Structure 1
């Protein structure tokens, strides 16, 4: 998604990251991915610390990735319900800094879990930018769909992985349904009788949601546990 790519620069000798450098609009950007085979908050923190050694004047960082959705109840408005391809932006409120680390805390008597501490809010300059975007969306709409279309026009080979597969492939099963373990990536062998019928959207554009993002050192792929956390 860079508008321009930049050549590599000399890194701090203790920095183990590998960067892609470029420009997005008027912003110079250093992009880093986690090392292959690693995941979680600790490797992410290590990558961010290494980045600051090589680029000490970075103004702010954005963590971007693919997450599992916590969709609302079947009665939810289609524009409020989380669907395949939607974008979620963390937004602080009175009780959270925008990202909720749901596995950080202590277990006490009777197995009750108590969360301890919370993450800080993003810098004010980013929260002001979010407010501006939210004000523009009702009149101008999000630009996500336009950018994805431009990307696929410039790089047709990316279509198989990044093109929106359509609402017919956005399947939501009942939270209590235990999916078939067939070793395949899809749900071809799962029982369609346990699907939840949701009202279709009128347009394929991704919806941008603002709220709390759950974060942990484990991947959440269990519907009943997801619903309990939601």
Structure 2
């Protein structure tokens, strides 16, 4: 049973933040109830430019925000403004898509898998020397570690049982999201569909995305990792550029998924969940060589663009679906599905996030107030139930008497 709508903004302790409309749409499909379908009865603080969607997911009342643009600065500004309106936020989930590191300590990472942050590394904050870039890594320059509440949750999720339950629930919520999307005319059944193993291609890090057949452009001179290529090549697909699939890296997990796919087993689309450090910066990563260099230095498992902005503003966990491998062969075909797996995982994470006494007392207080209003109304003689006036109430802070004997109700 979903919780009752909070009486005011103080009843929202959890925030969901998305940077792209497709991420926002995916998260919205997993709301159990919306509290703002009729009007925005909660408002916001003066000077807060954000626009919010309020509702509940599972047992939690949540507020959802869509950033005006991508990047750390926009994320930090939105998170700071959110705090001015919602003073009691205990957790923010930054939900969306990212570039994944294909191999690591946790095994193979495939497109559609979900990355959950244990920490965030601001990899582009440092000093550029003539021969190298040096990241600032002092305690004062680094982002702080999560608070005890989040560290405890991540510790639980990181156990074998925790990961297993998280993946099971993520798979279930993913199917629910896809079914809900199929009901929406504006979305359709195919938007969040699994693209298939044939579309999951990982090229060798040093294999360049350029014209591979003779062309009258600088691609002909490109033989090294850092050599320039022509601008049109950056906008063309691998098929158009004739990228050689002999340079594709073969992976065991992908082969297992392919077998499931041939059997039409829905388990083929089920994502794995990986917990680890995430690299955050204002650069869209499109280089396998540079990706692996930072991975070696920082031991990260994914790249994204908003985490560093939100991290120190509110208690935060980054939950992102892998839509590419942060290399030059990346494309957008996996973005919708990755947004869906991230949304499903976010709901699964919330299912493991324990309500506090303040959450429960707020829900109980709201329900008690509603019961009290109903009881007072029913206690009056039926002859006094007629309204004093009829008409639509468009204003706010209105007190209207239900009878001549008292029994006032507050609207808005």
Q: Same fold (TM over 0.5)?
A: yes
* Counterpart secondary structure, 1:61: strand
Which of 286, 303, 306 aligns to 1:221? It is: 286
Instruction: Look up the match of 2:177.
Output: 151
Q: Distance in 2 between matches of 1:218 and 1:141?
A: 30
Normalising by structure 1, we get a TM-score of: 0.85
Which of 23, 34, 40 aligns to 1:5? It is: 34
Normalising by structure 2, we get a TM-score of: 0.49
After superposition, where does 1:1-230 map in structure 2 within 5 Å?
A: 1-7=30-36, 8=40, 9-35=42-68, 38-72=69-103, 80-91=107-118, 98-108=119-129, 110-116=131-137, 117-135=141-159, 136-137=161-162, 140=165, 142=167, 143-156=169-182, 157-180=187-210, 181=233, 183-184=235-236, 186-189=237-240, 190-199=243-252, 200-202=255-257, 203-204=267-268, 205-230=270-295
* Counterpart secondary structure, 2:61: strand
Which is higher, the Rg of structure 1 or of structure 2? 2
Q: Distance in 1 between matches of 2:291 and 2:125?
A: 16
* Counterpart secondary structure, 1:212: strand
Displacement of 1:208 after TM fit?
0.5
* Counterpart secondary structure, 2:99: coil
Q: Distance in 2 between matches of 1:209 and 1:123?
A: 20
- Cα contact 1:108–1:114 (8 A) shared by 2: no
Q: Distance in 2 between matches of 1:28 and 1:210?
A: 25
- Cα contact 2:157–2:163 (8 A) shared by 1: no
* Counterpart secondary structure, 1:188: helix
Q: CA RMSD in A?
A: 2.1
Relative to 1, partners in 2 of residues 1:112 and 1:220: Cα closer, same or farther, differing over 3 Å? Answer: closer
Q: Distance in 1 between matches of 2:256 and 2:158?
A: 20
Q: Distance in 2 between matches of 1:141 and 1:13?
A: 39
Higher-helix-fraction structure:
2
The alignment covers a number of residue pairs equal to 217
Q: Distance in 1 between matches of 2:133 and 2:177?
A: 47
What 5-or-longer segments of structure 1 have no aligned partner?
Answer: 92-97
Relative to 1, partners in 2 of residues 1:141 and 1:122: Cα closer, same or farther, differing over 3 Å? Answer: closer
